Amino acid sequence: MKNEATQPSLLVRVRDPSDEHAWREFAEKYRGLVAGYCRRGPTAGGLR
């Protein structure tokens, strides 16, 4: 993931589940981050 800040407007737009463009942008930006977190497992992130 590039070291870019999430635009506050994107966070507002993804609140609307029908805003496909916002969700596509969010998924493109964070897909790798979320997948990596999930692959680490529940205890790697401090969750027990």
Q: Average pLDDT for residues 2-25, to the nearest whole number?
A: 90
Cα distance between the two ends of the chain: 27
Taking the whole predicted model, whether its pTM rises above 0.85 is answered as no
CB 19 within 8 Å of CB 10:
no
**Mean pLDDT of all residues in 15-27:** 96
3 pLDDT above the threshold of 90: no
Q: Is the pLDDT of residue 8 over 70?
A: yes
What is the overall mean pLDDT for the chain? 85
What is the pLDDT at residue 2?
A: 57
| pLDDT at residue 1 in the model | 52
